[in-house]
Amino acid sequence: MSDYSTHDPKGWGGDPSRGAALGRPTIKGEPEGKITVRRSPLDRQGYDRNGTYFGMGAPLFWIADEGGEVDYMDRFADLEDAVKVTAEKYPGAAVTAGEPIKLKCWGASDGPCPYDADADDDYGDQCEDCYAEEIYLEEQEANDD
């Protein structure tokens, strides 16, 4: 199967110094092998794990085949709907539900995650350590007021 970072646009016009890319390439060719549908969670500002901007809205999913001929993003109500619609779009292809893509940790307060960790589902878009740090910082700020 393709890797989620394979077609990462790596910033606006391919230059991360110019800001985030808006979306990623859409490749809808003839599938080679199994197609896998995976949820791509977004952080609190609408960015995926690669820092590509998708905005807020319905859940976002990554649809990709094993050979790289199908690789695109789409929004669906849920994973079941995403698999169903994808299977209808590619009759005869094996379409399966995969594990969600891991979101990178947001960090605590205004700083990036010092651990370069993935977000933990129990803490939204943060790892456990950054979540605890952010709660601590919020409590300190409330006590200062």
DSSP notation for 110-139: TSPPTT-PBP-GGGTTS-HHHHHHHHHHHH
73 versus 11: the higher-pLDDT residue is 73
Q: How high is the pLDDT of residue 1?
A: 57
pLDDT band at 16 (very low <50, low <70, confident <90, very high): confident
Q: How high is the pLDDT of residue 35?
A: 98
> What are the phi and psi torsion angles at 95 (to 5°)?
-120, 125
pLDDT band at 123 (very low <50, low <70, confident <90, very high): very high
Q: Which two tokens stand for residue 113?
A: 């995650």
Burial of residue 30 (CB within 10 Å: 0-12, 13-18, 19+) is exposed
What confidence tens digit (pLDDT) does each residue in 40-50 have? 999 999 999 99
What confidence tens digit (pLDDT) does each residue in 75-121 have? 999 999 999 999 999 999 999 999 999 999 999 988 899 999 999 98
Q: Which of 68, 51, 48 is nearest to 59 (CA)?
A: 48
Rounded to 5°, the CA angle 75-78-84 comes to 85
Is the per-residue pLDDT at 39 higher than 90? yes
What confidence tens digit (pLDDT) does each residue in 20-33 have? 888 899 999 999 99
Helices (H), the chain: 79-89, 128-144
> What are the phi and psi torsion angles at 82 (to 5°)?
-60, -45
Q: How high is the pLDDT of residue 65?
A: 97
